[in-house]
Chain A
């Protein structure tokens, strides 16, 4: 080929290249799927795979099979409620994303907050929307005793286990003899009025129940989602796996880790930083403002079942309890709520701490224009800024969030153990 011909061919190639690149949006392949820069890939790989639940040294039964079996039995047992008609599964229904599909929890009465999903709950640092418990075992006692939820008392639970032979036997198989508390057996009385030694015995008993619940709830972990498969394909350069996510979902992922900044709080493989933020949600007429984390901090520090208390199985100097050891309350905690996981989010609506949004598009629309709302309490965190997402981009983000589903839970977990 002569030099002249080569130059012509080169010019044609360059022009063709420029033409092709002009026809495709930046960052997209010819088929519309997304391409990701190295920095974006790093962010994506920080979100997957979910991995095992982190250890909980405050519960020595956390990973014991017999404790998990007991926890599962109790989870579905209505005898643990005050009137014998509600179980944990009433508000944490496995068919409804381990939630209840309602804006606000309904037990004995209607509560003030949404029932949080139990999917991947063992990956959370704090429990409840306000983080008023620092372990799953300490958390699980509170709904049992809430007058709005199951309406039991810890003294009453102790009496139930003494009375019901099958419950007592199941308990003793895991934890040994029930702690002795004569006054709780013989008197129908409030725990607060018991002698100190009996208070401790009853607390020891309910902490064991909580530890069994936790052992079961540690099994409620997501499988591999379309997003995880896509990311694995990206890591292994496997185009077939990368097709696990639609083009819309891939473009939504780019927004999630980029311009929409969702990943700032929904970080890590559980898509939650485990901490608390004031989103500036506006007041709902007739509904009292919710203090959120500000009150939660006081509550967890005062909880005798917290990880620094006598019922924790962790060594006194275990760093696991550092979250409590260094916890401090600030005015900025007013109106803050915990960042929820986004895994399985498609199936765990309604959304936000008070269930005010019925679908994901409404949630994204709120984040799109946070500045138009006056916070019900406190100050909106500056992390939230106007996003200026188009309707198409809201659809893409929603498609990405729906790619975080992994299918229904294992059937064996959705009912009492055989």
Chain B
């Protein structure tokens, strides 16, 4: 009985404060992307010849700050691949725009490539598209990442 009272009191307190739904979601998404699948940091290329894994620095990807990623390029059979040519772009498919910067790719050896100069200036879902050219093949990998607005770090530090 006591728990029923508690439940009813909680309902009384909570019900006026519960909006029908949070308004923070993008309202105008008119197509579907499997964001969960694309958010995996290891992906096979579209024709399944390459397996790419990436790690951003900083991690998670910050809003409106430059970041870089390290990409490990392997064959589907997990052989590390040097000598690949990577071309990169990133877009917000729900907003139909991309970055205002052009990242640069640097090979570090042992199948690892560093891509510097990313900047995601808007919060939300981004896709990093990497074209890989190696051994006569040219295939594409797409990584999805959601960038969040974080509370400021300095509390009460106003002028």
Q: Which residues of A contact B (CB under 8 A)?
A: 3, 6, 10, 13-14, 16-18, 20-21, 24, 26-30, 35, 37, 39-40, 42-43, 45-52, 221-224, 228, 232, 235, 254-255, 257-259, 261, 263-265, 267-269, 273-276, 319, 322-323, 325-328, 330, 332-333, 381-383, 385
Task: With A40-B22, A381-B97 given, name 17 new contacts (CB 8 A).
Answer: A16-B12, A42-B149, A43-B149, A46-B150, A232-B156, A235-B155, A254-B23, A259-B23, A261-B26, A264-B123, A274-B121, A323-B101, A326-B104, A328-B102, A332-B97, A332-B98, A381-B95
**Size bin of chain B's contact surface:** 35 or more
Q: Which residue of chain A has the shortest Cβ distance to B150 in the bound complex?
A: A46
Contact A322/B66 with A42-B150, A222-B159, A269-B152 known, Cβ cut-off 8 Å: yes
Q: How many angstroms between the C-alpha atoms of A319 and B118 in the bound complex?
A: 12
Interface-facing stretch out of B1-9, B34-42, B44-52, B138-146:
B1-9
Q: Which residues of B contact A (CB under 8 A)?
A: 1, 4-5, 8-9, 11-12, 15-20, 22-24, 26-28, 63-64, 66, 94-98, 100-104, 116-117, 119, 121-124, 148-152, 154-159
Contacting residues, chain A, for B11 (C-beta < 8 A): 14, 17
B interface secondary structure, majority: loop
**Contact (Cβ within 8 A) B151 A42:** yes
Shortest distance in angstroms between B140's beta carbon and chain A's nearest beta carbon?
Answer: 20
Contact A383/B152 with A326-B101, A328-B100 known, Cβ cut-off 8 Å: no
B116 contact from A10, A254, A274, A326, Cβ within 8 A: A326
Shortest distance in angstroms between A129's beta carbon and chain B's nearest beta carbon?
Answer: 15
Shortest distance in angstroms between B15's beta carbon and chain A's nearest beta carbon?
Answer: 4
Contacting residues, chain A, for B27 (C-beta < 8 A): 259, 261, 385
Q: Which residue of chain B has the shortest Cβ distance to A131 in the bound complex?
A: B100
Contacting residues, chain B, for A26 (C-beta < 8 A): 16, 18-20
B28 contact from A47, A276, A385, Cβ within 8 A: A385
**Contact (Cβ within 8 A) B24 A40:** yes
Contacting residues, chain A, for B66 (C-beta < 8 A): 319, 322-323, 326
* 19 pairs, CB–CB < 8 Å, chain A vs chain B: A10-B8, A14-B12, A17-B11, A21-B16, A50-B159, A224-B159, A228-B158, A255-B23, A264-B124, A265-B122, A273-B64, A273-B122, A275-B64, A275-B121, A319-B66, A322-B116, A326-B102, A326-B104, A385-B27
Q: How many angstroms between the C-alpha atoms of A275 and B66 in the bound complex?
A: 13
Q: Which residue of chain B has the shortest Cβ distance to A232 in the bound complex?
A: B156
Q: How many angstroms between the C-alpha atoms of A17 and B18 in the bound complex?
A: 13
Contact A46/B149 with A264-B122, A268-B64, A323-B66 known, Cβ cut-off 8 Å: yes
Give the 3 A-B CB pairs with smallest separation, nearest first: A258-B23, A326-B117, A328-B102
Contacting residues, chain A, for B16 (C-beta < 8 A): 20-21, 24, 26, 28-30, 35
Contact A223/B151 with A27-B17, A39-B22, A267-B122 known, Cβ cut-off 8 Å: no
**Contact (Cβ within 8 A) B151 A49:** no
Contact A383/B95 with A37-B19, A46-B150, A275-B100 known, Cβ cut-off 8 Å: yes
